[in-house]
Structure 1
Amino acid sequence: MSQELSIKDIAREIYVILYSKRKNEQRIMIRTYFDANAEEPIIFVQGHEEIIRQFLLMATIFISITTEIYSITDSVIAGDNHIVSIDAIIKYRLPLKPILFRQEIELRTITKFEFNEQKKIVRHEDIWSIKDLLENVPFMGWIYSYFGRKSIGLITNQLVEWMGTRSL
Structure 2
Amino acid sequence: MVHSSIPFTASIPSSNHNNSSLSLLQTTSLEVCNFVYGDTNLSSDSLTRYYEPNAVNIEPNFINTDALCPCSYENPLITATTRSVITDIFQLSQHLRQIDVKTPAQTLAMFLTLFCLHTPRFLRKKTQRDPMFTAIQVWTELDDVSESESFDGHRKCIVEHTLNVLLLPSLHADLGRPYASSDSLISATSQFHTSSIPTLRIPGTGASIPSPLHLRLRVITRLMFNEQGKITRHRDFWDVKDLLGLVPGVSLAQWIGTRLAGTGLSYLLRCWQTASSRQQEEDDSHTQSSASDYAAPVDTDAEPV
Distance 2:240 2:94 in 1: 21
Distance 2:264 2:143 in 1: 40
| Cα shift at 1:34 | 1.2
| Cα shift at 1:119 | 1.0
| Bigger mean CA offset, 85-94 vs 73-82 | 85-94
Structure 2 residue aligned with 1:54: 89
Map 1:12-161 to 2 at 5 A. 12-25=30-43, 27-35=44-52, 36=54, 37-42=70-75, 43-63=78-98, 64-94=137-167, 102-135=212-245, 137=246, 140-142=247-249, 144-145=250-251
Q: Which runs of 5+ in 2 are unaligned?
A: 1-12, 14-19, 55-69, 99-136, 172-210, 276-305
| Cα shift at 1:154 | 7.5
Q: Does the aligned pair in 2 maintain the 1:62–1:93 contact within 8 Å?
A: no
- Change in 2 beyond 3 A, CA 1:55/1:141: farther
| Cα shift at 1:94 | 4.5
| Cα shift at 1:33 | 0.6
Q: Does the aligned pair in 2 maintain the 1:59–1:65 contact within 8 Å?
A: no
| Cα shift at 1:155 | 9.2
SS in structure 2 of the partner of residue 18 of structure 1: helix
Q: Does the aligned pair in 2 maintain the 1:83–1:113 contact within 8 Å?
A: yes
5, 24, 31: which one pairs with 1:6?
A: 24
Distance 1:74 1:159 in 2: 37
SS in structure 2 of the partner of residue 24 of structure 1: coil
Q: Which runs of 5+ in 1 are unaligned?
A: none
Residue identity opposite 1:38 in structure 2: C
Residue identity opposite 2:71 in structure 1: A
Q: Does the aligned pair in 1 maintain the 2:42–2:91 contact within 8 Å?
A: no
Q: Does the aligned pair in 2 maintain the 1:62–1:95 contact within 8 Å?
A: no
Distance 2:157 2:261 in 1: 40
| Cα shift at 1:21 | 4.4
Higher strand proportion: 1
Write out per-residue CA displacement over residues 96-136 of structure 1, whole angstroms, 9 at most, x where no aligned residue. 998xx95433112221110111111111111232121222x
- Change in 2 beyond 3 A, CA 1:105/1:145: closer
Higher helix proportion: 1
| Cα shift at 1:29 | 2.4
Q: Does the aligned pair in 2 maintain the 1:17–1:29 contact within 8 Å?
A: no
Question: How many residue pairs end up in the alignment?
Answer: 160
The RMSD of aligned alpha carbons is 3.5
Write out per-residue CA displacement over residues 49-68 of structure 1, whole angstroms, 9 at most, x where no aligned residue. 21122223332234233222
| Cα shift at 1:13 | 2.3
TM-score (norm 1): 0.69
Structure with bigger gyration radius: 2
SS in structure 1 of the partner of residue 28 of structure 2: helix
| Percent identical residues | 21
Distance 2:87 2:225 in 1: 18
- Change in 2 beyond 3 A, CA 1:96/1:122: same
Distance 1:118 1:94 in 2: 42
